Amino acid sequence: MKESIRTAVLGLGRLGYWHAENLVSKVKGAQLVSVADPLEGRAEQVARELGVNKWSQNPNDVLEDDNIDAVVIVTPTSTHADMIKRAARNGKQIFVEKPLTHTLEEADDVIQVIQEHNVACQVGFMRRFDPAYAEAKRRIEAGDIGKPLYFKAVSRDGNVPPEEFIKHSGGIFLDVAIHDYDLARYLMGQEVTSVTSTGNILMQSNQFMEKYNDVDQAMTYLTFDSGAAGDVETMRIAPYAYDIRGEVIGTEGSIQIGSMRYHDVNILTSKGSTHNLIPDFPTRFKDAYLLEMINFIDCLREGKKPICTEVDGKVALEIAAAATKSFVSGETIELNNKLIRL
């Protein structure tokens, strides 16, 4: 087993910073040796704050540094394909945030380069590592609900991203619903064979989304290769909380995942009973972001394959691309996925 993995983080925005912070102090066997971000002063600021010795405004300095074993790519999605290919060609092990790439052509291209250079790649579908989803997976595999027949997902976020983000996000199916498409195949243990989706702009203030063929609310109906079915509800405008839930209904029972309760505290007054709700994704998935990074570093130290690879990244992207196509065309899109590995 390797003692330590010399790691660098590329992209120090909202999520890159958390990954860097976790790698500095909370991930056994990881050594954060360098950070990079093209934004003036950002890498230096983060390096000083976290006590990292090397920083750069130029990602090439990291990608070409022989002293680095693994890179954590947390840059905008449109840069992932180029970053992954350059990292693989320089022999770096790779963690890349979801989605793997922006397009399916790019995904095929990066898979080829990753496999040619024989490096590991883990995609940031952190919900697989969330304790509740991980326990659900374990219970489903143990047969506790029998054979899975129906998958249900709800992802409602109340923070509408700014227009500049929407413009480059790839749309609600690619940017948000993709987490649930990955969970659909992971929890059901089956591949998605058809996708039908709809979407709407429900809030007047989000009309700008129309320019980008995007919506603030979407539904995706899925069918699976065993004949099972499912639905994924996705919303950017939940006015009350960050509300993430899932359910798998099987022949012997159902498993419900997630709750909106922030603290395990109930306040009882003569007006009734209240509790705080989870406000945002960093709060809801704090543990999952840490656990996925622990898993990545453990896999590299022990020479194991990550549970969520570039191939899983591509399959989820295919479902998202089909959902986008279905939303635009109004038609059901058939997929030809054979069971890969779940």
Ligand X SMILES: NC(=O)c1ccc[n+]([C@@H]2O[C@H](COP(=O)([O-])OP(=O)(O)OC[C@H]3O[C@@H](n4cnc5c(N)ncnc54)[C@H](O)[C@@H]3O)[C@@H](O)[C@H]2O)c1
Residues contributing to the site for ligand X (CB under 6 A): 10-16, 36-39, 42, 59, 74-77, 79, 97-98, 124, 126, 281
Smallest distance from ligand X to CB 287, Å: 13
**How many C-beta atoms lie closer than 10 Å to residue 149's C-beta?**
18
Q: What Rg do the C-alpha atoms of the chain give, in angstroms? A: 20
Helix (H) or strand (E) run with residue 295 in it: helix 286-302
Closest alpha carbon to 72 in 58, 62, 82, 60? 62
Eight-state DSSP code of residue 177: I
Smallest distance from ligand X to CB 78, Å: 9
Q: Closer CB to ligand X, residue 183 or residue 249?
A: 183
Q: Closer CB to ligand X, residue 114 or residue 308?
A: 308
Q: Closer CB to ligand X, residue 15 or residue 215?
A: 15
Smallest distance from ligand X to CB 44, Å: 13
Q: 228: which residues sit within 8 A by CB, 6+ positions away?
A: 148, 149, 150, 151, 188, 190
HSE, side-chain direction, 13 A CA sphere, residue 238: 20
Smallest distance from ligand X to CB 119, Å: 19
Smallest distance from ligand X to CB 284, Å: 9
**How many C-beta atoms lie closer than 10 Å to residue 34's C-beta?**
22
d(CA 234, CA 68): 38
Only one residue has tokens 């700014």, namely 162
d(CA 223, CA 192): 6
Only one residue has tokens 């291209």, namely 109
Closest alpha carbon to 206 in 159, 158, 160? 160
Smallest distance from ligand X to CB 35, Å: 9
Q: 67: which residues sit within 8 A by CB, 6+ positions away?
A: 6, 33
257 strand-pairing partners: 246
Smallest distance from ligand X to CB 57, Å: 9
Q: Closer CB to ligand X, residue 34 or residue 190?
A: 34
Across 288-339, where does the E strand assignment appear?
A: 333-334
Q: Closer CB to ligand X, residue 75 or residue 190?
A: 75
Q: Closer CB to ligand X, residue 19 or residue 152?
A: 19
The encoded tokens of residue 176 equal 């948000």
Q: Closer CB to ligand X, residue 130 or residue 223?
A: 130
Q: Closer CB to ligand X, residue 42 or residue 92?
A: 42
Smallest distance from ligand X to CB 10, Å: 5
Position with the least CB separation from ligand X: 13
